[in-house]
Amino acid sequence: MELLKHYTLVAVIGLLSVAILFGLVRAIRGPRRPDRIMGINMIGSFSTALLAALALFLRENWLLDVCLVYGLCSFLAVVILSKIHISGGREDRDGKEESSLYE
Amino acid sequence: MSEWIRWAFAVLFFAAGFVSIAVSIFGVFRFRFVLNRMQAAAIIDTFGMFFITLGLVLLSWDMNYIPKLLLILCFTWVGSPIASHMVGRMEVRTEKNLSQYMEIRDLTQENPENAAENHVPEQCREEEEGKA
């Protein structure tokens, strides 16, 4: 039974790794910044799930704490990147010069 | 015996989670506009994470792991809508040719009663720009 659980977790970790690659492709291909940030958000979600599976696979309880903090940091990164882009891009749409955040 | 049943349900949940993730990834690459893609990507944070976390809970069945796994699920569910909202807002605020992708209705033209209500955000925006 332990061996079966082991192989199940290996399969889950492998499939999540493949999913992370798809997120990376979306983040690289873009074509615009919101697409890239969405790709980063996807990678963050997959990594959180992967870390949780890894915690069970290695039987290390502390990895779940890492996973929790990683999930929060990933969410915070998306919100902050969006905020930065909005503050720089609003003047973009109105045809004025770009904000100093991009300089 | 109960361990086998738990394992079977865990595998079932993992399968459901990966089907959700596959559908989501298909949508992310198939759709042409970022707001549609965002909709597809949100499936990962809701259904995908739910099923995978539930599978992990059943597989571990240990009180050292279960509360933390459920906490991770809670944080994801709280954070995902906010992140999606920010990405959507970013797109609407920064896309110059938004009307190419969707119909934008000017409610002040259609119904003058809405004019006063809709004028408030515009005023706020002007004030913000004035401060900046």
Contact status of A101 with chain B (Cβ, < 8 Å): no
Residue closest to B74 by CA, chosen among A10, A51, A72: A72
Give how far A41 is from chain B: nearest CA, Å: 8
Q: Which of A32, A45, A67 best probes binding to B when mutated, by most B CB atoms within 10 angstroms? A: A45
pLDDT tens-digit readout, B15-64: 999 999 999 999 999 998 889 999 999 999 999 999 999 999 999 998 99
B5-14, B33-42, B99-108: least confident range: B99-108
Closest in A45, A53, A93 to B94, CB measured: A93
Any B CB within 8 A of A90 CB: yes
Mean pLDDT of A20-46: 92
* 3-state secondary structure labels for all residues of chain B: CHHHHHHHHHHHHHHHHHHHHHHHHHHHHHCCCHHHHHHHHHHHHHHHHHHHHHHHHHHHCCCCCHHHHHHHHHHHHHHHHHHHHHHHHHHHHHCCCHHHHCCCCCHHHHCHHHHHHHHHHHHHHHHHHHHC
What's the confidence (pLDDT) of residue B104? 79
User: How far apart are the CA of B4 and the nearest CA of chain A, in angstroms?
Assistant: 8
For the CA atoms of chain B, what is the radius of gyration? 22
Q: Which residues of A touch B7 (CB under 8 A)?
A: 1, 4-5, 8
A49: CB partners within 8 A, 6+ apart: A16, B48, B49, B52, B53
Identify all chain A residues contacting B28, using CB atoms and an 8 Å cutoff: 22, 26, 38, 42
Residue A64: closest C-alpha in chain B = B68
The pLDDT value recorded for residue A62 is 93
Query: What is the distance in angstroms between the Cα of B111 and the nearest Cα belonging to chain A?
Result: 26
CB contact under 8 A, A34 and B59: no
- pLDDT tens for residues A35-83? 999 999 999 999 999 999 999 999 999 999 999 999 999 999 999 999 8
State residue A17's pLDDT score.
Answer: 96
- pLDDT number for residue A24: 95
Contact across the interface for B59 and A8, Cβ inside 8 Å: yes
**Closest residue, chain A, to B36 (C-alpha):** A35
Question: Residues of B with CB below 8 A from A1's CB?
Answer: 3-4, 7
Rounded to whole angstroms, the Cα distance separating B93 from A101 reads: 16
